[in-house]
Amino acid sequence: MSTPAPDATFIPATGLLAGLDLLQVSQDGAVLHIRLNRPVKRNAINDGLIAQLHTAFVNLPADVRAVVVSGEGAHFCAGLDLSELVERDIHAAILHSRGWHAAFDAIQYGRVPVIAVLHGAVVGGGLELAASCHIRVAEDSAYFGLPEGQRGIFVGGGGSVRIPRLMGAARMTDMMLTGRVFDADQGERYGVVNYRVGDGAGLAKGIELARKIAGNAPMTAFAVMHALPRIVEMSPSEGLFAESLMAASASNTPEAQARLRAFLEGRAGKVVKE
Residues 6+ apart with CB under 8 A from 97: 156, 157
Catalytic residue among 128, 208, 233, 238: 128
How many Cβ atoms from other residues are within 10 Å of residue 181's Cβ? 14
Read off the DSSP letter of residue 265. Answer: T
Is residue 128 annotated as a catalytic residue, yes or no?
yes
> Which lies closer to ligand 1HE via its Cβ, residue 155 or residue 192?
155
Maximum alpha-carbon separation in the chain: 66
How far apart are the C-alpha atoms of 15 and 42, rounded to whole Å? 26
| From 21-29, 40-48, 223-231, 247-255, span contacting ligand 1HE (CB under 6 A) | 40-48
Told to check if 125 binds ligand 1HE by CB under 6 A, we report yes
| From 153-161, 202-210, 252-260, 266-274, span contacting ligand 1HE (CB under 6 A) | 153-161
Is residue 148 annotated as a catalytic residue, yes or no?
yes
| Interaction residues for ligand 1HE, span 44-63 (CB under 6 A) | 44
In the chain, count H helices and then E strands.
Answer: 13, 10
Told to check if 157 binds ligand 1HE by CB under 6 A, we report yes
CB of 162 to ligand 1HE, least distance (A): 12
Told to check if 71 binds ligand 1HE by CB under 6 A, we report no
φ/ψ of 74, rounded to 5, equals -85, -10
Q: What is the dihedral of CA 176, 177, 179, 182, to 10 degrees?
A: -60
Told to check if 78 binds ligand 1HE by CB under 6 A, we report yes
Told to check if 113 binds ligand 1HE by CB under 6 A, we report no
> Which lies closer to ligand 1HE via its Cβ, residue 25 or residue 80?
80
CB of 107 to ligand 1HE, least distance (A): 14
Beta strands, E only, the chain: 11-12, 23-28, 31-36, 66-71, 114-118, 121-123, 135-139, 143-145, 182-183, 195-197
Catalytic residue among 72, 84, 87, 148: 148
List interacting residues with ligand 1HE (CB under 6 A): 41-42, 44, 74-75, 78-83, 97, 100, 121, 123-125, 147-148, 151, 155-157
